[in-house]
Amino acid sequence: MINYNKNKLINETLDKYYETFSHTLDTVDYVPERYNQKICRYIFKNMKKAFRVIDKEDRKYQREQKRKLKAKKLANLPPEKRINFFKRLFKKLKFSKHADSNNNS
């Protein structure tokens, strides 16, 4: 599932990054090189942070969309198939006898 909003947010982040970086290029002539390197590292660090925030929000959005899609599919099923769906689901969730942590034998 493609989230077009994520692409838009990435483009905005990159635009801000390039704009900030262009301001540092204007100062290359009269600002010491060490200071410009510090500024570039700071810009890259903040850009990475912005991308992490975007990815986190995208994961939340994708999870929400999957839940909605699953609920929609389940709502469209006839009642007898819904019952079978839950029976199969709970059958998969049963624990084995060997997984009992209290039994040390």
pLDDT tens, position by position, 19-50: 887 877 777 677 788 887 888 888 889 888 98
Confidence of residue 93 (pLDDT cuts 50, 70, 90): low
96 class by beta-carbon count within 10 Å (0-12 exposed, 13-18 middle, 19+ buried): exposed
Q: Say what angle helices 4-26 and 33-76 make with each other, to 10 degrees.
A: 170
CA torsion, points 62, 66, 67, 69, in degrees to nearest 10? Answer: 130
pLDDT in tens, 42-73: 888 988 898 898 888 888 888 888 888 888 88
How far is 29 from 1, CA to CA, in rounded Å? 47
